[in-house]
Amino acid sequence: MGVEDVTTIHEEYGGERLPPGQRRTERFPVLSKSGTPRWEMDSWEFTVTGAVENELTFSWREFTDLPQATQRQDFHCVTGWSRFDNEFTGVPFRTIAERADVADDAVHVLFESLDGYSTNLPLDECMRDGVLFVLELDGQPLPSEHGGPLRVVTPHKYAYKGAKWVNSVEFLTEPRRGYWEKRGYSNTANPWGEERYSFL
Give the binding site for ligand MTE (CB under 6 A): 29-33, 77, 113, 115, 117, 146-147, 159-160, 162-165
Decide whether 115 or 195 has the Cβ nearer to ligand MTE. Answer: 115
Work out what residue 6 binds among Mo ion, ligand MTE, none; the CB cut-off runs from 5 to 8 Å by kind.
none
Residue 162 binds: one of Mo ion, ligand MTE, none (C-beta under 5 to 8 A by kind): ligand MTE
Contact 67, 79 (CB under 8 A): no
Size of the site for Mo ion (CB under 5 A): 3
Which distant-in-sequence residues (6+ apart) come within 8 Å of 194 by Cβ? 19, 20, 21
CA-CA-CA-CA dihedral for 104, 105, 107, 112, to nearest 10: -90
Among candidate residues 126, 119, 123, the one with its CA nearest the CA of residue 156: 126
Would you give the binding string for Mo ion spanning residues 31-50, x where CB under 5 A is met?
Answer: x-------------------
What does the H/E/C string look like for 4-39?
Answer: EECCCHHHHCCCCCCCCCCEECCCCCCCCCCCCCCC
Q: Which is nearer to ligand MTE, 29 or 141 (CB)?
A: 29
CA–CA separation, 35 and 53 (whole Å) = 35
Binding part of the chain for Mo ion, among 4-12, 34-42, 145-153, 154-162 by CB under 5 A, reads 154-162
Rounded Cα distance between 125 and 127, Å, is 6
Q: Which does 164 bind (CB under 5 to 8 A by kind): Mo ion, ligand MTE, none?
A: ligand MTE
Smallest gap from Cβ 158 to Mo ion, in A, equals 7
* Total count of residues recorded for the chain: 200
Minimum CB distance to ligand MTE, residue 178 (Å): 9
Least separation, in Å, of the C-beta of 184 and ligand MTE?
Answer: 12
Q: Does 30 bind Mo ion (CB under 5 A)?
A: no
Using only C-alpha atoms, the chain has a radius of gyration, in whole angstroms, of 16
Q: Is 160 in the site for Mo ion (CB under 5 A)?
A: yes
CA distance 10 to 164: 23
- Of the pair 30, 41, the CB lying nearest ligand MTE is at 30
Catalog residues that contact Mo ion under the rule CB under 5 A: 31, 78, 160
